[in-house]
Chains A and B, each alone.
Chain A
């Protein structure tokens, strides 16, 4: 609302077709098992499923009862079971248990497993080992892409982050490549591809391989997306670790947006029930405040309320005919707006209440000091006290990670002391959490480099030249230096501000963090688009540990005046935050770009930290 576009921003392509494709395929798969059947749905798939289908569609295709995976079938269950699952080993064991229990009791049924988005060999191996391989039929539901909004597409694979960055498993790269293939077949070909990060590079390579091997040509079709930019989450952990202060990010941090919708509890609705609200561009109130800094939201909402009041008040002087008109034409819209307004006002109140309770102000101060590299000691004691007071374990962890990444690791004394206090406050089993954080490079000890080098040299002695490069890469991903301070300096991520930063009239992307910091990920994208490549960014690339690429598709004509050339698919491997989305939307408006976001999942600091915590099997 605050900024006017400099150039016309192109319209995003219509992603509705992705939903239709997914729905039709699911229906087709359900029809493969004709007759009455019970459907077992993986918990993680429920919300995505909700976005493309509903119960009546399932009922139409003879789904009788719906179960959540992990629950036991009821006694009067159908003769046919259909399992709609993610390809996970423990789910296979659960299914095998059901089948084997049926076999034991002499109950005969048909079983079908539908894997989404694809099947893994390891899953079939489990089915085979459990002796149920021949008893089930397996299908794949290629539901790679869920459009959450007109410019956000999610793969809904939150586990991508842990699987790839922590465990070093490449299982989802194929899914990413297939998703890109699908998008490119529908909206491409993309004229230019940029990227940074190991996973980005691999996904790109695999996608190119797939394209070459398939003979499908996108000929005769007008491309709708001109550029694609792939980025690994570990290129920029800092941004994802910061407290979010744009409205959508705050709502996500506070209430957890799930699959584009949020459950507002009684504290927001000021009634005794929760309301599920879809948050997207269709929500006329939300769409105007989602990208705004929280401080501007209040003003906007109160202005909006006054306008609404005024519109209601108009009916006072009306005669019967005007009144009739008002009721039939405007009232419904006004009521809808009223409902939305009161919800978002309620949400703001609830956010404020929660944030003041948590000394949000102090926390922001500590975060900003860490980003700027000031008063590190003071921030360290703030974190320490945060831990000692046993307040939110996730926030404590997050702040420690932020300290570590911005400082290139903690000094051994601080590391030990913070770790000890953390274990004492939140439980000794977090020893495993610290281990994971170290492995992924989020929370490291400055001296850790020594042991790594020793290990590295030992291994490299055994290495043939062929594997040498790969190993070095593997070690890099294990614990690489973040070099945040140097990168920040090079790219000017900390804006120099004379006086107050006007959050209502933002000058740059830093507004998404109260003017204190320009998100690194977005800055990289901005720079590369501006330069149409990595030229001049060599030093930054080196500090980011390389793996950058920029490829032009020679078959696509290059003409920046065409609208689609200004549509950019920003792919975040390992998750993307609403703050980043807001920042790039801002950049788009400034420069006349339209960003489309493709992410493995929407993420935030809490989700990232939670992914590092070990739970029982």
Chain B
């Protein structure tokens, strides 16, 4: 860039300065825009007294209305730029929230391409003294004064200015001491935006080890850097940082493990998880990660097999109940449900068999039964449901037992539209009399209601219940005979 040419005319007619090409008619506009930006950023430095920004905006009067802002811009577009009518002037962008076009500084538009608004002090772009000398000879304030303004702010003032979104070069904070004072000031000011900005600067100008070491005793700043690295996706630096910081140590492995969420391909994901197993997790987490890996591994095998079975069309269950979704990346319980649905009878040796899953992942009885029940009920395989709860004692007598309350069993069966005959068998097993009566009444298991009232010797309820059953039905007869029996006994 031939910035050395300070001649204004040259500048305006040169197109080399353009950061990107506008259409011809936009040419002037783009320059204007650039200059305006430069003007505004310069003004931050030159004119310290621009707090009217806030004053104007929030004083309570309806400022910023369209007409008001047009008037404002029109009045400020007076002098410097010949041939620019006010509409174009209006079009020029200022980065400030409210109009603060500064008419008298437009010569500083020469800074185009060099000054960027609100930068936080990057060496190549900071507003250096040289730049001022060479390109802005007509600035209102003398150079010496300018220097005062640009570089003699205390760390605190620097932070305050940054907080207001003003241009501030951090380059002069070169000693470690200065950098840390600046960081501490930012933290003391409670503005996360500035803290992060200072950290970006420190990250660029300090050796990693030094930065990390200093952050270890600056937890608030540390949190900001960790979050910043997470957001920008600088995974490697993040892991390095977590590695050095003892307080963050537990987060390290998890932050690595977290990456799997971003891996779409299942094979790659599986490989990645395999890699995670070796990481020094806590004993508890490590078994969860191991399980995660094993689960995905199983799912990949099952998925491949079943997709094949389904497309071949030989398996009845897949023909009758086509799979709605792939089993990949599903939770364990969903996988178990799937396996109870499609592979219930398979031998334990098969990866897809429910018993195999139960053993491999040490699924508790309760969870297993709930899941198997739901799956078999969905298929209306009532014998399987029956078998699930039937236990034989050593004399060969069978008994119904469940690790969950039978009211839950009833609920699941009912949700799967089990017929009354099946339902009532389990309603009968509900221990709590009141719950049993409620469920029986709700699901019209007349026999259970009647028997319960009989056992309670509740004639009144029994008589009342007669109206709930059909006239002349077996149930009505049963009620009548019980009522008669009760009478006879008394």
Contacts and interface: CB of A to CB of B under 8 A. Distances in A.
A173 interface: yes
Given A139-B96, A431-B288, 14 more contacts: A126-B232, A135-B20, A137-B37, A139-B95, A173-B191, A216-B54, A385-B404, A390-B333, A424-B363, A425-B367, A426-B333, A429-B261, A432-B258, A462-B217
A475 B248 CA distance: 11
Interface pairs A-B: 4 shortest CB-CB: A168-B223, A170-B192, A171-B192, A121-B197
Interface in B17-69: 19-23, 26, 30, 33, 37, 51, 54-55, 57-60, 62-66, 69
Contacts of A209: 189
Contact of B219 (A126, A128, A474): A474
Contacts of B246: 455, 458-459
Interface in B175-214: 184, 187, 189-197, 200
Contacts of A182: 58
B332 A428 contact: yes
A431 B288 CA distance: 8
Nearest to B195: A170
Most B-side CB within 10 Å, residue of A90, A181, A423, A439: A423
B313 interface: no
Contacts of A616: 261-262
Interface stretch (B115-123, B144-152, B418-426): B115-123
A177 B194 CA distance: 14
A258 interface: no
Contact of A172 (B92, B192, B257, B370): B192
Contact of A432 (B30, B223, B257, B295): B257
A174 B193 contact: yes
Interface residues of B, number: 102
B472 interface: no
Interface in A109-128: 110, 112, 118-122, 124-126, 128
Most A-side CB within 10 Å, residue of B119, B192, B291: B192
Nearest to A27: B66
A73 B150 CA distance: 41
A459 B249 CA distance: 12
Given A121-B194, A172-B192, A420 B20 contact: no
Interface string B92-103: 111111110000
A172 B366 CA distance: 46
Nearest to A393: B331
B29 to A, nearest CB: 8
B193 A213 contact: no
Contact of B333 (A27, A202, A425, A474): A425
A89 B231 contact: yes
A214 B55 contact: yes
Interface string B277-308: 00000001100110110010000000000000
Contacts of A120: 193, 196
Interface string A381-420: 0001100111000000000000000000000000010011
A205 B334 CA distance: 51
Given A467-B217, A617-B261, A174 B191 contact: yes
Contact of A108 (B21, B113, B227): B21
B131 interface: no
Interface string B218-260: 1110011011101111000000000000110011001001101
A75 interface: no
Contact of B193 (A79, A121, A419, A467): A121
26 contacts: A17-B60, A32-B91, A103-B20, A110-B33, A119-B118, A121-B197, A122-B228, A124-B118, A124-B119, A134-B19, A134-B113, A163-B227, A167-B230, A171-B191, A171-B192, A174-B193, A206-B191, A216-B55, A390-B331, A390-B333, A425-B331, A428-B331, A431-B292, A459-B247, A471-B217, A616-B262
A140 interface: yes
B216 interface: yes
A203 interface: yes
A185 interface: yes
Contacts of A142: 57, 97
B26 A110 contact: yes
Given A169-B192, A171-B193, A420 B288 contact: yes
Contact of A141 (B30, B97, B331): B97
Nearest to B64: A24
A600 to B, nearest CB: 14
A88 B153 CA distance: 29
Contacts of A29: 97
B342 to A, nearest CB: 18
Interface in A568-617: 614-617
B262 A171 contact: no
A172 B192 CA distance: 7
Interface in A147-195: 163, 167-174, 177, 181-182, 185-186
A431 B253 CA distance: 12
A470 B223 CA distance: 13
A536 interface: no
Nearest to B249: A455
A614 B58 contact: no
SS class of chain A's interface: helix, strand, loop or mixed? helix
A138 interface: yes
A98 interface: no
Interface of B: 19-23, 26, 30, 33, 37, 51, 54-55, 57-60, 62-66, 69-70, 87, 90-99, 113, 116-120, 122, 160, 162-163, 165, 184, 187, 189-197, 200, 216-220, 223-224, 226-228, 230-233, 246-247, 250-251, 254, 257-258, 260-262, 284-285, 288-289, 291-292, 295, 329-334, 361, 363-364, 366-367, 370, 404, 408
Contact of B165 (A88, A118, A177): A118
B165 A119 contact: yes
Contacts of A471: 217, 219
Nearest to A454: B246
A463 interface: yes
Given A134-B116, A424-B333, A462-B217, A174 B21 contact: no
A435 B59 CA distance: 46
A479 to B, nearest CB: 11
A138 B64 contact: no
Contacts of A486: none
B122 A205 contact: no
A555 interface: no
Contacts of B20: 103, 108, 134-135
B327 to A, nearest CB: 13
B26 to A, nearest CB: 7
A397 B378 CA distance: 27
Given A181-B58, A390-B333, A431 B257 contact: yes
A93 B299 CA distance: 35
A110 B122 contact: no
A317 interface: no
A168 B59 contact: no
A427 interface: yes
Contacts of B60: 17, 185-186, 221
Nearest to A359: B411
B91 A122 contact: no
A121 B364 contact: no
Nearest to A216: B55
Contacts of A423: 288, 291, 331-332
A174 B87 contact: no
B189 to A, nearest CB: 7
Contacts of B332: 423-425, 428
Nearest to B197: A121
A119 B263 CA distance: 31
Given A25-B98, A171-B192, A206-B191, A464 B55 contact: no
A28 interface: yes
B403 to A, nearest CB: 10
Interface string A428-471: 11011001000100000000000000010011001110110011
Contacts of A169: 192, 196, 223-224, 227
Interface in A201-224: 202-203, 205-206, 209, 213-216, 221
